[in-house]
């Protein structure tokens, strides 16, 4: 009965929608009107985001991409020895190049002024000491060179007969070079052009990368150990008292980084408050005051303090949403407090823990100010090395940019992970 009553209606509806599509009041098809309205809403949303998006693109993203591009640039040799660069491409690297290459080199030496050849010579001299004088000497005599140029150059200086010189020039005529990245990872080209590890006493960067990673890891662990109990306390206290205690977490969060760093300098100095306190209570001897700053310990203590709120806040916001009845239920079913905590409560806090861990670690590996001020010689991070190399020569600068790119890629991978696991929209302060 019911079926029979309904089915004609259904059929009628179907035929109606087939023959005359639903329309809006002014006669447009509903589907098209809806799509149009949705399109307009999308456009409006995009228009609101556009100003900041475009602003960041031009004053932030593009500068960073430009900077990264400079870390592989190597235009000196190609630009300043144009003929040689063109000719040497055909050389197979066996023995010495042909007469044409020597002729091109003689031409370049003749055309190039003192500063042009000087720039090339300085660039190549870093890879092959002594080459500067060879090139500058040949430049001065270039006007007198006669064909055959091979003999002329060899007569000018024996070094022109060294195949390694030509291998080097061929390699450096490439305008894009991985050389700075090799250096940033403590590798280099040897004289035959093979990639080899740098001599042990010159290896610095890998160990600083490693130090940055393990110190950041240690700091992250310390912030977990200190942040977890505090976040738990805040999440389980009555709201009024939790808000009051929350101020103690937010005060350091809102206090200038420099202020917090200077506070630690004051506290941890050999004549500072902590050491005086320890001496007063005869925990350490007056002549044997602890070195707590200008080393790794200083960096770790200060950075743990500075980053601790970044662990507490995401943990707290997740813990607050966990109903206390869950732990109570576990207890009532016979779990010990420890077991209830480990098997019921802790797994639920993992989203907050992941957010805190990634946030603290990401922020820590890029730190510059605090290690620079309290790290001394031993407690520095990769950022400090980058800043240091940035003010050096052109090749030092490119090396700094290569180091910066490696650091940036690492940070972006972690940030991507953060987005996958946590989501940026979950980020909140206070």
Site string for another protein, 22-61 (x = CB under 8 A): ----------------x--xx-xxxxxxxxxx-xx--xx-
Residue 299 to residue 355: CA distance in whole angstroms: 23
Please tell me the total number of residues recorded for the chain in this structure: 430
Structure tokens, 313 = 């806040």
Q: Which is nearer to another protein, 202 or 277 (CB)?
A: 277
CB of 22 to another protein, least distance (A): 22
Indicate the SS3 state at residue 29.
Answer: strand
CB of 38 to another protein, least distance (A): 6
Q: How far is the CB of 193 from another protein (least distance, A)?
A: 31
CA distance 372 to 388: 10
Q: 30 or 196: whose CB is closer to another protein?
A: 30
Among 167, 189, 383, 402, binds another protein (CB under 8 A): 383
**CB 226 to another protein: min, Å:** 5
Residue 69 binds to another protein (criterion: CB under 8 A): no
Stretch that binds another protein, among 85-93, 109-117, 179-187, 251-259 (CB under 8 A): 251-259
386 near another protein (CB under 8 A): yes
Q: Convert residues 224-243 into a mask of x (bound to another protein by CB under 8 A) and - (unbound).
A: --x--xx--x--xx-----x
DSSP-based three-state secondary structure for 96: coil
Q: Is 354 in the site for another protein (CB under 8 A)?
A: no
Give the interface size with another protein as a residue count (CB under 8 A).
89
The piece of 113-121, 166-174, 342-350, 417-425 that touches another protein (CB under 8 A) is 417-425
Name the minimum Å distance from CB 174 to another protein. 23
Q: Tell me, what DSSP letter sits at residue 335? A: -
Long-range own/partner contacts, residues 129-134 (CB < 8 A, 24 or more apart): 130/159, 131/159, 131/165, 131/168, 134/159, 134/160, 134/165
Minimum CB separation from another protein for residue 219, in Å?
14
- Which parts of 252-291 interact with another protein (CB under 8 A)? 252, 254-267, 269, 271-273, 276
Q: Pick between residue 169 and residue 407 the one whose CB is nearest to another protein.
A: 407
Two structure tokens written together for 97: 């190049």
Burial class of residue 302 in the structure, from the number of CB atoms within 10 Å of its CB (0-12 exposed, 13-18 middle, 19+ buried): buried
| Start-to-end CA span in the chain (Å) | 62
Cα 111 to Cα 69, 86, 152, 159, 168: the distances in Å are 30, 15, 17, 21, 21
Is residue 289 within 8 Å of residue 279, measured between CB atoms? Answer: yes
Rounded to a whole number of angstroms, the minimum distance from the CB of residue 391 to another protein is: 10
CB 38 within 8 A of CB 32: no
Q: For the window 311-350, what string marks contact with another protein as x by the rule CB under 8 A?
A: --------------------------x-------------
Nearest distance from residue 56's CB to another protein, in Å? 6
Cα 163 from Cα 97, distance rounded (Å): 8
Give the Cα separation of 264 and 10 in Å (integer).
78
């Amino acid at each position: 009965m019911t079926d029979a009553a309904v089915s004609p209606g259904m059929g009628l509806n179907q035929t109606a929608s087939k023959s005359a599509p639903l329309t809006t009041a002014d006669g447009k098809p509903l589907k098209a009107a809806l799509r149009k309205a949705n399109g307009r809403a999308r456009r409006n949303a995009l228009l609101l985001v556009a100003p900041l998006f475009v602003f960041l693109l031009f004053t932030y993203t593009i500068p960073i991409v430009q900077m990264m591009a400079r870390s592989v640039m190597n235009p000196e040799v190609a630009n300043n020895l144009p003929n040689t660069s063109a000719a040497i491409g055909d050389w197979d690297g066996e023995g010495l190049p042909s007469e044409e290459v020597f002729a091109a080199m003689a031409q370049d030496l003749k055309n190039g002024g003192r500063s042009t050849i000087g720039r090339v010579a300085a660039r190549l001299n870093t890879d092959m000491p002594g080459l500067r004088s060879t090139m500058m000497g040949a430049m001065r005599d270039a006007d007198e060179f006669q064909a055959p140029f091979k003999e002329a150059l060899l007569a000018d200086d024996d070094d022109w007969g060294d195949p390694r010189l030509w291998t080097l020039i061929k390699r450096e005529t490439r305008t894009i070079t991985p050389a700075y990245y090799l250096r940033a990872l403590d590798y280099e080209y040897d004289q035959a052009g093979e990639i080899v590890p740098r001599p042990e006493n010159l290896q610095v960067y890998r160990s600083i990368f490693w130090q940055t990673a393990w110190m950041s890891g240690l700091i992250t662990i310390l912030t977990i150990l200190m942040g977890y109990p505090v976040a738990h306390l805040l999440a389980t206290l009555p709201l009024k008292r939790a808000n009051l205690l929350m101020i103690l977490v937010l005060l350091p969060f809102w206090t200038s980084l420099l202020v917090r760093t200077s506070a630690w300098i004051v506290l941890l100095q050999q004549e500072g408050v902590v050491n005086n306190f320890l001496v007063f209570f005869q925990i350490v001897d007056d002549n044997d005051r602890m070195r707590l700053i200008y080393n790794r310990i200083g960096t770790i203590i200060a950075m743990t303090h500075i980053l601790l709120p970044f662990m507490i806040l995401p943990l707290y916001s997740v813990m607050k949403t966990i109903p206390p009845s869950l732990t109570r239920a576990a207890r009532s079913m016979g779990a010990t407090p420890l077991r209830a905590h480990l098997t019921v409560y802790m797994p639920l806090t993992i989203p907050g823990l992941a957010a805190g861990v990634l946030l603290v670690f990401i922020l820590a590996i890029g730190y510059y100010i605090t290690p620079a001020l309290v790290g001394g010689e031993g407690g520095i991070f990769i950022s400090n090395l980058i800043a240091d190399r940035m003010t050096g020569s052109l090749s030092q600068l490119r090396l700094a940019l290569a180091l910066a790119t490696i650091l940036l890629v690492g940070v972006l991978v972690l940030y991507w992970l953060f987005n996958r696991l946590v989501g940026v929209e979950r980020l909140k302060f206070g």
